[in-house]
Amino acid sequence: MSEKSRPNYEEAVKKEFEITKQLALAEVREWIEKIPEEERDKPAIVVATKVFTPRQLVKEVEEDTEYGRRLVQMLTKVRLELAKKEG
C-alpha cells in the first residue's frame, strides 16, 4: 500500500465513531417512531439530575453531547450482545 493511500489513523477512528453514531441514531429513530406522537415529549429517561424525553434524547445523540455519546455506547453494547447470541 502506498503512503498516499494508507488511511490516517485519527481520521479512521473519527470515521468509525461516525458509523457507530449513525447506527445508534438509526436505532433511536426507530425507537421514537414506535412511540405515539403525544408521548414523545414526555419525560422518559433519568440519569443523575437530568431528565430526557424521547425527542430530547435523539437530539443528544445527533448533537454528540456527553449523554448522547453514552447512549451510543449503550446501544452498541446491545448490538454486541445480540450478535453474541446469534453467533
Q: Which residues contribute to the site for another protein (CB under 8 A)?
A: 27-28, 30-31, 43-49, 51, 57, 70-71, 74-75, 77-78, 81
The C-alpha cell that represents 29 in the structure block:
429513530
Burial 16-51 (b: 16+ CB within 10 A, else e): eeeebbeebbebbeeebeeeeeeebeeebeeeeeee
Closest approach, Cβ 47 to another protein, in A, equals 5
Closest approach, Cβ 67 to another protein, in A, equals 9
Pick 14 or 42: Cβ nearer another protein: 42
Pick 12 or 74: Cβ nearer another protein: 74
Pick 12 or 47: Cβ nearer another protein: 47
Q: Are residues 54 and 40 in contact, defined by beta-carbon separation less than 8 angstroms?
A: yes
